Structure 1
Amino acid sequence: MARRDRNARIEPTFGGPLPDDGASGFFVSEEDRVVPGARKGKASTKRRATSGGSGGGRNGGGARGRKAKRRRGFFGLLRGAVYWTMVLGLWVGIAGAGMIAYYGAQMPAATTWAVPDRPPNVRIVSVSGQLVANRGMTGGEAVGLHEMSPYIPQAVMAIEDRRFYSHFGIDPVGLSRAMVSNVVSRRVSQGGSTLTQQLAKNLFLKPDRTYGRKAQEMLMAFWLEHKFTKDQIMEMYLNRVYFGSGAYGVEAASRRYFGKSAKDVTLPEAALLAGLLQAPSRLSPARDPQAAERRTQLVLAAMRDEDMIGDRELATAMSTPATRTAAYWTGSEHYFADRVMAELRDLIGEVRQDIVVETTVDLVLQTFAEASIRRLIDDEGKKHNVSQGALVSIDASGAVRAMVGGYDYATSQFDRASEARRQPGSAFKPFVFMAAMEKGLSPDTVRDDAPIKIGNWAPRNFNDKYHGPVTLKEALAKSHNSVAVQLAREVTPAAIVENAWRMGIESNLEPNLSIALGTSEVTPLELTAAYVPFANGGYRPDIHFVNRITNAKGEVLYQHRTANGPRIARPEIIGMMNAMMSETVSQGTARRAAFGWPAAGKTGTSQNSRDAWFVGYTANLTTGVWFGNDDASATKNMTGGSLPAMAWNEFMAAAHEGVPVANLPGSWTPGSGGNGTGTGVLARIEDILRRDTGPNHTASIDAPTPQGNVGEPARPVGSIMDIIMGN
């Protein structure tokens, strides 16, 4: 065989015999041949015949080809996915860098950046300019990292930034994890910010949740990491961060919660402090000890995961939780100050300079309020098995003049006035009766106070006493449950819920028939606020705690605009409600509240006397009082007409001393209003007929509707006159 020249050109062959040495060059087979006119017949047929005769058939080379194509398809998709992921990541990086550069260009030159000397002070003063509280860097000085307990920075790193000493200000791992978590949960559940970023935000930036602020935060974090050591950054952070209850910095927090320096903090105490950083106000042990303890155990577990502590230390810390010192601040005005601090962010954003907050609180009234709550618990607490009380007083414009959130602020900073949700009992009934007035009934409309049963539910009157046909005025004054439930069925629970929300209730309310007896929980603050329209003529007030905020230069940062709120009730409706609720004070369940001024209101007692209320008002002030126990345990025979009415009397009598007497707004006389029956002369006829029906007469409701039905109400069979007039 002749030797083939390596330099000889090998031409492709078409249709001829294959060369002996198949590996000697490239060739084009029939399968690769382009046949002109293949779409029109023979050529395509020939091509199929040729390829079919190649020996592979359907089960031969064709199957292997398809498998190879599938393999090439899978890996091709994988390569494509990797490629486009890299491309996308590159563009995201470019976009991120561009965004950071854009917002960075709007910032001052880095050479002008400087860490502020200290956090600002918040001076809170009363309506007359008296000091209520100083909040800010109070009660603590800066402590060096080498001076404080080593458990503190360890606990903070374990729960807030585990890679603090290894990242460069931004933690890509933590940021990626937070992004994935947020995408999976479809909400912002994690932030991914490092301690350096948090320090940058607290030192320099506003709390706005914008991309621009986040970009500036990253640049500031890079600058801090460049200018300061890790220990310096940690020290600045711990000396400035907010730990709740007005404590800024670890030294202030240590003295606030434990009565000791940060130098002496133990492991469980350090874990408690670190746990506060997620939500300082909500997790404060002074406000919610159980939530603080749960968070503390989470921090201890994180420290063990990071090998900062051993199993023995973990077990010891878990079994010996941190103990909180009893007294730091005293005086009920600090409940008010806490509420003001919670309002500041919404009013002016992040506080970055010394400010003076001029509030609505009257310290004279605050003293009266605190004295009435404390005296009654001291004198009557054991007798009635009651340990806590709350009082809120609001003027006609919505300004909160006094607020007591508990028996003793020094031992418990939980604000029962604005945060505790409890069942109002019969104190909710005015919204039921007001809905009835708006449906056309009036105070002298008659309903039959008798035992009723709705499905399996049989609401009962207090002490199981019933009074037969009564006017709505008397039913509200004497707090007859039977009549309230009948009215709820007539007007529908949905109408009652709408009415309560319109008047100022903000909590969720269940639209069922039991709402007539106050089974949906509310706070003393919102319930009191919802009574203010009765006192001011039907206008919904703007409830507020702050009048004005100024800085150290006297520049006004915020000014409350005093204006009448929207009218939410007609004058004639307010007149009828005031006529009915005045009866409560003069000869109803709140007789102990009377003090010489025209006043109205409603008592309330929840099931088993767990909560006792009286919310009442004059043309000057609307005041709500609550007594009960934090664990919702039952009291001993306490009603809204006992301690709450007595506390209300003491406070209001002192508050109105020397104030000119004023009548309640609106007016109503018997027989002058309402489209319901039982008004005027008819009511007097009903009085005569009571002798025939008697107090033991039983009312029934045909086709009872199960509790919770908010459809068309069935009409109850009531008194004779109701039947005659078609009610």
Structure 2
Amino acid sequence: MAHKKKISKQPKKSSKKKAKSTLGGFFALNVSLRVIKSLLLGFIVVLFLGGLLVVGIGAGYFAHLVEGTPTPTKTEIKQEVGDIAEPSKLLYADDQELATIQSDPIREKVDSDEISTWVKKALVATEDENFYEHRGVVPKAVVRALLGELVGFGAGSGGSTLTQQVVKQQVLTNETSFKRKANEIVLAFDLEKYLSKDEILTAYLNVSPFGRNNKGQNIAGVEEAAIGIFGVHAKDLSLPQSAFIAGLPQSPIVYSPYTNTGDLKQDYSIGMARKDDVLFNMYRQQMISKKEYDEAKKYDLSKDFQAREDIEVQQHGFLYYTVYNEAISIVAKQQAEEDGVSDSEYNKDDVRSRYVEQAKVKMQNQGLVVKSTIDKNIYDAMQLGVAEYGQYLDDGSGATIEPGTVMMDNQTGRIYGFIGSRDYNTNQNNHAFDTVRQAGSSIKPVLVYGPAIDQGLLGSATRIADFPMKYQRGEHAGKELENAENKGSKTFQTAREALVESTNITAYHVYQDMLAKKGSEQFAYDNYLKKMNYPTSNTWGVESAPLGTTGISTLTEINGFQTLANGGVYQQGYMIESITDSTGKEIYKHKNAPVQVFSKATASIMNDMMRSVINEQHTTPFKSILSGVNYSLSTADWVGKTGTTDNYADNWLIVSTPSITLGTWTGRDDNKPMNDGAGNRTATYMAYLAGRIYQVNPSVFAENEEFELSDDVKQIKVSDFTGLKSGKVSHNGTNYQVPSGETTSLWAKDGPAENTYEFGIGGDEDDYKTYWNTRNKVSAKNKNTETDEDD
């Protein structure tokens, strides 16, 4: 039998073990992968949840930062963005420019169509290449800023869009906190919602700083940059010029080609390199072609830089400073009122000073337009007039006699023009508005005769004592009260005569009689002068007050005469017609506030009496001199009054036609007396000055109009001798035959009394005796029945 080979089983066992081992390895790997996958998923979940937590915390923190930030309206946003700091302007009444109030930096706002498209493209390419795609904010920049704040690195940093930069410059402060950054982001969204991209771009180009110009001045806004660097308007900038300007805002002073003196820097290559970067950005973003890029880069821009120029210093004078200061006062008071500040609080020096400083900043930076009442032609004629005829005021002493002159519209109080001094360069005292001097007899129409007539205390023919006398009380007690020409004419003058001759004794009697009957030393001030803004003073009640011993300004006195020439209606003199802001919105408009100070009847009677002052020429030769200067103008219905203080220290002449009041004070700044003849010299100066004004504006004088008595004036026939109703007079058993002759007395109220021996205002027994004895006295030792019946 054959032998069978035994087959070994061992190899099969090894294979099974190997397979089992392999299977185990796959299992382990699978398990490991599952574990890793689980771990990865868990890590991702943790990261995701952590991210949500971070975002949630960040969002919460962001919400905290912007909490309380008001949501502006469309109007508010547009107003704040459009409120670009720019110089304010002062205008004449006809809108011609009077002056520009320069700001620092200087800028001029322009519209979008006045800016080259090259500039806009260059700016976007360099500062915000996604400007036309984003909605005001780039999200990744927000996240970067937020994370930076959370981890304490780069807080508040991040590339701001052009929109955000406009918000920062126009709406928010320059504070670098993250809260400001957060608010900037919120407001940027609002800005994009309310303004177009072009409006935002235009705002940026109008407000941003652009370094210096060729005068060394700090400049802002693309228009000033274009003019100050290249001598062209913003709309005419070439591509290379636009690229240079668009690169400036990042570091204006560094990139500027000029020093602070206006000279070109010795090395301005850094600015030129910046220009090349801007051009490349434009090319890279396909805003310009390769050819345009190459040509612009090769262009020698240095030849376009403007040569150094000196700053044109504006020669300011009285007009600029007077209009400017008046505008400042208006803006300051207006702001205080908006803040709820009372008048008493505002009148405190520190409070008023604070608001005045705020107003100055506003005037320098907010592009206000101040329209004055000044008529350029009249004002210029007045300056020419004082230059030519001011010499007529000099008295031969070698001292300069200065004038302070104002011309005012009667109906409105509008100031047409003024003269502050003979020459601003040598004397900056504004004698028209600021200098306060004694009024002399020019005060009599508004302080004495006007109020007395208004109260029905006298008429134009009322007789007033003009006999020698002495002051009765006060510091002048016992001193002779004298007229300019004598110590008394030893008669009873009519009110008209007293005004024409400007006698002091008569004015004294009328004033004392009025104060006594009204029971108050301040009666005339409280009821008349105060309404015309004459200064408060306890001197209005002293015996010398009707002689004009209280100090006033020229403007104040002219305004008083304006009141009489305007039917008794006071219109406060004003020089600012309106003020508008940079958007054209009117923030101030003068409003007339008429005050009826004197009755219409009183005013018309006073004008009738002051016509006699000018026509009879007892105190001033104004009309005859004017006739020689300009006959046609001399035929106008001129009324007025003169005034002179002791030793000719002050001299006044104020005249009116139905349309205007023109008045002047003349004197020396050291208060020393002038030589005799001051009144004639003042009249000559005024006549020639009026003639000069007439040459440029004849219609302003209304030479064909006349002052007329109002319908309610009482024109009463009275005895020419007593000023009372005609009739026989008896006194202490003696009958007096009143001399024949009647005249018309003008009364505004009440009327003359029955005839009596003591018929006048003022005077003592001896004065009346003298007057009757020298004027046809008829003696009668015994009364008879016939006389008694006649009485």
TM-score normalised by the chain length of structure 1: 0.52
CA RMSD of aligned residues (A): 4.7
Is the alpha carbon distance of 1:609 and 1:381 closer, same or farther for their aligned partners in structure 2, counting shifts above 3 Å?
same
Residue 709 of structure 2, aligned match among 666, 670, 676? 666
CA drift of 1:335 comes to 4.9
Residue 698 of structure 2, aligned match among 657, 664, 669? 657
CA drift of 1:328 comes to 6.0
Aligned residue runs from structure 1 range 154-169, under 5 A: none
Amino acid at match of 1:355: L
Is the alpha carbon distance of 1:136 and 1:330 closer, same or farther for their aligned partners in structure 2, counting shifts above 3 Å?
closer
Is the alpha carbon distance of 1:687 and 1:394 closer, same or farther for their aligned partners in structure 2, counting shifts above 3 Å?
farther
Contact map agreement 1:484 1:517 (CA 8 A) in 2: yes
CA distance in 1, matches of 2:395, 2:94: 37
Contact map agreement 1:444 1:680 (CA 8 A) in 2: no
CA drift of 1:223 comes to 7.7
Amino acid at match of 1:671: I
For residues 507-538 of structure 1, what are the alpha-carbon distances to aligned partners after superposition, in whole Å with 9 as ceiling and x for unaligned? 12312111111111111111111111211111
Contact map agreement 1:329 1:409 (CA 8 A) in 2: no
For residues 340-362 of structure 1, what are the alpha-carbon distances to aligned partners after superposition, in whole Å with 9 as ceiling and x for unaligned? 43344247543352122221111
CA drift of 1:647 comes to 3.1
Amino acid at match of 1:388: E
Residue 422 of structure 2, aligned match among 407, 411, 415? 407
3-state DSSP of counterpart to 2:417 = strand
Is the alpha carbon distance of 1:356 and 1:472 closer, same or farther for their aligned partners in structure 2, counting shifts above 3 Å?
same
Aligned residue runs from structure 1 range 76-95, under 5 A: none
Aligned residue runs from structure 1 range 263-302, under 5 A: none
For residues 185-228 of structure 1, what are the alpha-carbon distances to aligned partners after superposition, in whole Å with 9 as ceiling and x for unaligned? xxxxxxxxxxxxxxxxxx999xxxxxxxxxx9xx989989x99x
Residue 435 of structure 1, aligned match among 435, 448, 451? 451
Q: Is 1:358 matched with 2:393?
A: no
3-state DSSP of counterpart to 2:481 = coil
Contact map agreement 1:598 1:663 (CA 8 A) in 2: yes
Aligned residue runs from structure 1 range 255-270, under 5 A: none
Counterpart of 2:641? 602
Counterpart of 1:390? 404
3-state DSSP of counterpart to 2:552 = coil
Contact map agreement 2:640 2:655 (CA 8 A) in 1: yes
Counterpart of 1:480? 503
Contact map agreement 2:444 2:548 (CA 8 A) in 1: yes
Counterpart of 2:596? 567
CA distance in 1, matches of 2:401, 2:459: 40
CA distance in 2, matches of 1:558, 1:474: 47
CA distance in 2, matches of 1:681, 1:612: 40
Counterpart of 2:98? 132
Residue 470 of structure 1, aligned match among 493, 502, 525? 493
For residues 605-625 of structure 1, what are the alpha-carbon distances to aligned partners after superposition, in whole Å with 9 as ceiling and x for unaligned? 122212111122111101220
Contact map agreement 2:389 2:688 (CA 8 A) in 1: no
Is the alpha carbon distance of 1:719 and 1:664 closer, same or farther for their aligned partners in structure 2, counting shifts above 3 Å?
farther
CA distance in 2, matches of 1:102, 1:536: 60
Residue 678 of structure 1, aligned match among 704, 713, 723? 723
Amino acid at match of 2:642: T
Q: Which structure 1 residue ranges, 5 or more long, are not aligned?
A: 1-100, 142-202, 206-215, 228-234, 241-260, 264-326, 690-712
Contact map agreement 2:648 2:673 (CA 8 A) in 1: yes
3-state DSSP of counterpart to 2:569 = coil
CA drift of 1:107 comes to 9.8
Structure of greater Rg: 2
For residues 21-50 of structure 1, what are the alpha-carbon distances to aligned partners after superposition, in whole Å with 9 as ceiling and x for unaligned? xxxxxxxxxxxxxxxxxxxxxxxxxxxxxx
CA distance in 1, matches of 2:666, 2:403: 4
CA distance in 1, matches of 2:384, 2:406: 13
Residue 376 of structure 1, aligned match among 384, 389, 392? 389
3-state DSSP of counterpart to 1:368 = helix
CA distance in 2, matches of 1:118, 1:565: 38
Contact map agreement 1:461 1:481 (CA 8 A) in 2: yes
Counterpart of 1:577? 606
Q: Is 1:496 matched with 2:524?
A: yes
Counterpart of 1:193? none
CA drift of 1:423 comes to 0.5
Greater displacement, 409-418 / 566-575: 409-418
Residue 464 of structure 2, aligned match among 424, 428, 447? 447
Contact map agreement 1:508 1:520 (CA 8 A) in 2: no
Greater displacement, 466-475 / 377-386: 377-386
Counterpart of 1:643? 681
Contact map agreement 2:451 2:528 (CA 8 A) in 1: no
CA distance in 1, matches of 2:444, 2:82: 55
Counterpart of 1:524? 554
CA distance in 1, matches of 2:260, 2:403: 34
Amino acid at match of 1:413: Q
CA distance in 1, matches of 2:89, 2:513: 53
Aligned residue runs from structure 1 range 588-627, under 5 A: 588-593=618-623, 595-627=634-666
CA distance in 2, matches of 1:139, 1:635: 50
CA distance in 2, matches of 1:443, 1:504: 24
Counterpart of 1:557? 587
CA drift of 1:604 comes to 0.8
Counterpart of 2:323? 337
Q: Which structure 2 residue ranges, 5 or more long, are not aligned?
A: 1-64, 73-77, 108-168, 182-210, 212-216, 219-258, 262-312, 336-358, 516-520, 627-633, 729-736, 743-760, 778-791
CA distance in 2, matches of 1:634, 1:470: 29
Contact map agreement 1:609 1:636 (CA 8 A) in 2: yes
CA distance in 2, matches of 1:204, 1:466: 74
Report sequence identity in percent: 20
Q: Is 1:424 matched with 2:439?
A: yes
Amino acid at match of 1:437: I
Aligned residues: 435
Contact map agreement 1:424 1:521 (CA 8 A) in 2: yes
CA drift of 1:337 comes to 2.7
3-state DSSP of counterpart to 1:410 = coil
Contact map agreement 2:89 2:370 (CA 8 A) in 1: yes
Counterpart of 1:507? 535
Q: Which of structure 1's runs of 4+ aligned residues deviate more than 6 A? A: 101-104, 114-118, 138-141, 219-224, 686-689, 721-724
Counterpart of 1:61? none
3-state DSSP of counterpart to 1:671 = strand
Amino acid at match of 1:401: Y
Contact map agreement 2:622 2:687 (CA 8 A) in 1: yes
